[in-house]
Structure 1
Amino acid sequence: MPNTKPRIMNDWKDLFWSLLPLVLICLVIAGIASQCTFSAKGPTPGQIPHFDLDNSLADDAKRMSFPIRKPALPEGWTPNSGHHDTITGPGGGAVSTVGFLTPQGTYMQLTQTDAAEEALAKNVVGTRYATGTEQIGDRKWVVYAEPGTETAWITDFGDVRILIKGAGNAAAYNTLATVTGQAQPLPRG
């Protein structure tokens, strides 16, 4: 019979020596699968995906029943994503969204839709109640801020509602609001 001690006599050292082989096996498997890297420098930014903003918005201008604008963003803003969606229910409509990385590396989203402001706010932010306004140029942006979510700004062009939100600072919001307010609708044909 092996010389084992009663369970009550086990301590943290026994637990450590029992788990050590399992941890080593997990590290070896993660290393083989290239899912784990070790760096003294810490995390590094990954490759920004290529996204063709011009073609995407031109296509949206042809397909959507409302005007689509392409803001002329300053240097350093990189388009990285886009998608279409539909807001269902009362006040819903088609949605065109594109995303950008700011020069500071934060994400900002630009959404254009024919949905009502309340439906858009509820769908994107989770609330339908405004918490304030921002005046950028000659355009008033309604601010929707809710704890635990990114702040969203919405403006109404009459035939289209535009929403901006993201992790950017006040300067990023002001920049995106300014260039979007100045943008003219793209040709529809």
Structure 2
Amino acid sequence: MPADKPRFLQNNRDMALSMIPLVLICIVVAAIAGQCSFSPGHPTQGKIPHYDATDALRADAQQLTFPIRLPRTPEGWQSNSGGHDTVNGNDGGEATSVGYITPAGDYVRITQSNASVPALVRFVAGGARGVTGEESVAGHQWSVYAQTGAEPIWTTDMGSVRMLMTGSGTDAEFRQLAAATTGEAPLPSQP
């Protein structure tokens, strides 16, 4: 019976001993690739990406056919994302968005568009939602679309432009961004 495995290779210990080198190899490869980190205690906030909302909205004001406002956000708010997109449908149009991180670490995004409010809500929410409340901020009426398990959506119609806000922010942060945007004059458009 010399062809038989030694007795120590015939139980669960054999399996565990075989796995240890594999796990060590995976850890070494992950460390070399820089895809792992160790943070005892709790996770830490990473660096917030920078997005130049001023330049982006000024460029969109030159290209898009509706008035675009540059929010004058409160101290400590940092723009971290944005872009423009097409809202599909018969009542669709163009849209430009900017996302902000508040000092509390919440995310609030404002979208400005020439699409209808229902089309804009469908575009952002991924489907239709019904109005669940109203908010008045700086002389403008905002419709609130709240849904359990989803981020709230606020919209207002300012005639030639519709605005939509969404994100993980508080009602107070939504009010701050609403006032910071609607209180501004539209950026200069193409001559």
What TM-score, normalized to structure 2?
0.88
Unaligned regions of 5+ residues in structure 2, if any? none
**1:32 corresponding residue in structure 2:** 32
**1:187 corresponding residue in structure 2:** 188
Q: Using the alignment, how far apart are the partners of 2:19 and 2:136 within structure 1?
A: 59
Q: Using the alignment, how far apart are the partners of 2:16 and 2:95 within structure 1?
A: 54
**1:149 corresponding residue in structure 2:** 150
Unaligned regions of 5+ residues in structure 1, if any? none
How many angstroms does 1:4 deviate by?
5.7
Q: Is the 1:127–1:144 contact (alpha carbons within 8 Å) kept by the matching residues of 2?
A: no
Give the percent of matched residue pairs that are identical in Structure 1 and Structure 2: 45
**2:5 corresponding residue in structure 1:** 3
**1:139 corresponding residue in structure 2:** 140
Q: Using the alignment, how far apart are the partners of 1:164 and 1:174 within structure 2?
A: 10
Match of 2:120, SS state, is helix
Given the alignment of the two structures, is residue 43 of structure 1 paired with residue 48 of structure 2, yes or no? no
Q: Using the alignment, how far apart are the partners of 2:125 and 2:90 within structure 1?
A: 17
Q: Using the alignment, how far apart are the partners of 1:113 and 1:87 within structure 2?
A: 8
The aligned length equals 186
Q: Is the 2:50–2:80 contact (alpha carbons within 8 Å) kept by the matching residues of 1?
A: yes
> Which deviates more from structure 2 when the two are superposed, residues 98-107 or residues 132-141?
132-141
**2:125 corresponding residue in structure 1:** 125
**1:52 corresponding residue in structure 2:** 52
What TM-score, normalized to structure 1?
0.89
Amino acid at match of 2:174: Y
Amino acid at match of 1:120: L
Q: Is the 2:50–2:78 contact (alpha carbons within 8 Å) kept by the matching residues of 1?
A: no
Q: Using the alignment, how far apart are the partners of 2:146 and 2:186 within structure 1?
A: 28
Q: Is the 1:111–1:164 contact (alpha carbons within 8 Å) kept by the matching residues of 2?
A: yes
RMSD between superposed Cα atoms in Å? 1.9
**2:161 corresponding residue in structure 1:** 160
Amino acid at match of 1:31: A
Q: Is the 1:87–1:123 contact (alpha carbons within 8 Å) kept by the matching residues of 2?
A: yes
Change (3 A) 1:4 1:119: farther
